[in-house]
């Protein structure tokens, strides 16, 4: 099973700042089958990025995914108030596993 480790656990930032979230896999993720989700309390996850770098339908361009192999990054260029949430990475190239999440909170 591929284990995904997200860092940091919590990111404290102010609106307008840049957020950089990391997801590291225990082995290479095939075909860059890596996704990122945003989850707010009481809601289902919302797909942001698939294929490591493709934005899902309707996702603003301030969200950017990058990386390959075992190291992946989600960058939020300028945080909007609605971006404060928990973010999960997911790999789907070898079965399916999720990371432990990064909480982006208001500083």
- Told to check if 7 binds another protein by CB under 8 A, we report no
Min CB(29)–another protein separation in Å: 10
The residue within the footprint of another protein, chosen from 2, 28, 51, 103 (CB under 8 A), is 51
The residue within the footprint of another protein, chosen from 19, 21, 74, 99 (CB under 8 A), is 99
Min CB(57)–another protein separation in Å: 7
Kindly list the distances between the CA atom of residue 43 and the CA atoms of 36, 38, 85, 86, in Å, as whole numbers in the listed order.
Answer: 15, 10, 11, 11
Q: Parallel, antiparallel, or unpaired: how do β-strands 46-50 and 4-7 relate?
A: unpaired
Min CB(53)–another protein separation in Å: 12
Consecutive H or E run containing 47: strand 46-50
């Amino acid at each position: 099973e591929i284990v995904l480790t997200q860092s940091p656990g919590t990111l404290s930032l102010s609106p307008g700042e840049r957020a950089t979230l990391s997801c590291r896999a225990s082995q290479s993720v095939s075909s860059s089958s890596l996704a990122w989700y945003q989850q707010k309390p009481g809601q289902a996850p919302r797909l942001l990025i698939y294929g490591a770098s493709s934005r899902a339908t309707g996702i603003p361009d301030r969200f950017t995914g990058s990386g390959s192999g075992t190291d992946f990054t989600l960058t939020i260029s300028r945080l909007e108030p609605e971006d404060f949430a928990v973010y999960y990475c997911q790999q789907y190239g070898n079965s399916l596993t999720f990371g432990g999440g990064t909480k982006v909170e208001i500083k």
